[in-house]
């Protein structure tokens, strides 16, 4: 097991032993892994930082749960939905779905990126990681082997193929991390996990508050429009991003 902060940083593993942006997600699993049935799904793995951290923590807890990591491992899909366009933040603000402060931060972030890049910024290059095309599934597999983790299953490919209604990967889900940025990815992912998410199951919505990807919030709101469950805001620390999540009811 990793013990020192530099070990986590060197290997690109989320350090669940200290306070950080995903503390609510990790703490929820640490406190409820025995009570909730099912495995963990991560939609949007990239280099595996959260995936590896969760798998290590589960081992430390003596849990038999597995972590399934869904990602193309080749970057964003070639087609973007109209809701991924940055202009949709203006629509969200005009409809009162995001605050003025949020919207102003979106514009400020966009301006920063355009100055840094020297070109127009769109949903394709607004992220510091671009379109995530520099990802490597092989590099992640090397880290999994190095850490001797046998509780991870990687599921490569477009969500439209790997998250079909006919595919089953586990006996259900107890927690889900959505970090997949785009409208269509959130739509596909939410529809895939919901019926198999246990009562009390936790979903971390990484882009429900975002300065870059408007489509994620739109997709979540659309999906929950006919449901009693609604996203809730975790306590926000000074200067930190908002952290939103969802818990499935009985």
Q: How far apart are CA 42 and CA 70, in angstroms?
A: 6
Structure-block tokens of residue 70? 């869904």
Q: What is the pLDDT of residues 14-44, one digit of tens each?
A: 999 999 999 999 999 999 999 999 999 999 9
pTM to 2 decimal places: 0.95
Question: Is residue 96 very low, low, confident or very high in pLDDT (cuts 50, 70, 90)?
Answer: very high
Tally DSSP H helices, then E strands, for the chain. Answer: 9, 7
3-state secondary structure of 198: strand
Question: Is residue 94 very low, low, confident or very high in pLDDT (cuts 50, 70, 90)?
Answer: very high
- Angle subtended by helix axes 183-193 and 214-224, to nearest 10: 30
CA of residue 117 relative to chain centroid, distance: 25
CB contact at 8 A, 192 and 176: no
Domains in the chain, ordered, with CATH?
21-78+134-247 (3.40.50.150)
Structure-block tokens of residue 229? 């469950």
Please determine, for residue 4, whether its predicted confidence score (pLDDT) is greater than 80. yes
Q: How far apart are CA 58 and CA 55, in angstroms?
A: 5
Q: What is the pLDDT of residues 107-157, one digit of tens each?
A: 999 999 999 999 999 999 999 887 787 788 999 999 999 999 999 999 999
Q: What is the pLDDT of residues 65-82, one digit of tens each?
A: 999 999 999 988 888 999
Q: How far apart are CA 221 and CA 70, in angstroms?
A: 22
Q: How far apart are CA 107 and CA 126, in angstroms?
A: 11
The 8-class DSSP code of residue 236 comes to P
- Do β-strands 67-71 and 39-43 pair in parallel, antiparallel, or remain unpaired? parallel
């Amino acid at each position: 097991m990793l013990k020192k902060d530099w070990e986590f940083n060197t290997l690109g593993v989320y350090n669940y032993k200290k306070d950080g942006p995903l503390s609510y997600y990790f703490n929820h699993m640490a406190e409820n892994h025995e009570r909730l049935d099912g495995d963990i799904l991560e939609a949007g793995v990239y280099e595996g930082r959260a995936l590896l951290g969760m798998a290590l923590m589960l081992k430390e807890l003596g849990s038999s749960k597995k972590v399934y990591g869904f990602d193309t491992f080749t970057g964003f899909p070639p087609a973007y939905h109209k809701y991924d366009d940055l202009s949709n933040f203006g629509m969200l603000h005009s409809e009162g779905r995001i605050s003025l402060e949020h919207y102003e931060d979106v514009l400020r972030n966009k301006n920063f990126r355009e100055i840094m890049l020297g070109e127009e910024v769109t949903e394709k290059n607004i992220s510091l990681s671009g379109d995530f095309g520099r990802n490597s599934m092989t590099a992640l597999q090397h880290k999994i082997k190095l850490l001797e983790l046998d509780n991870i299953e990687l599921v490569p490919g477009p969500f439209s193929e790997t998250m079909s209604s006919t595919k089953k990967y586990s006996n259900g889900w107890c927690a889900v991390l959505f970090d997949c940025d785009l409208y269509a990815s959130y739509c596909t992912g939410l529809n895939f996990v919901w019926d198999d998410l246990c009562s009390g199951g936790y979903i971390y919505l990484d882009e429900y508050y975002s300065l870059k990807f408007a489509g994620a919030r739109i997709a979540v709101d659309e999906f929950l429009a006919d449901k009693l469950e609604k996203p809730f805001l975790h306590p926000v620390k000074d200067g930190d991003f908002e952290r939103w999540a969802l818990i499935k009811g009985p």
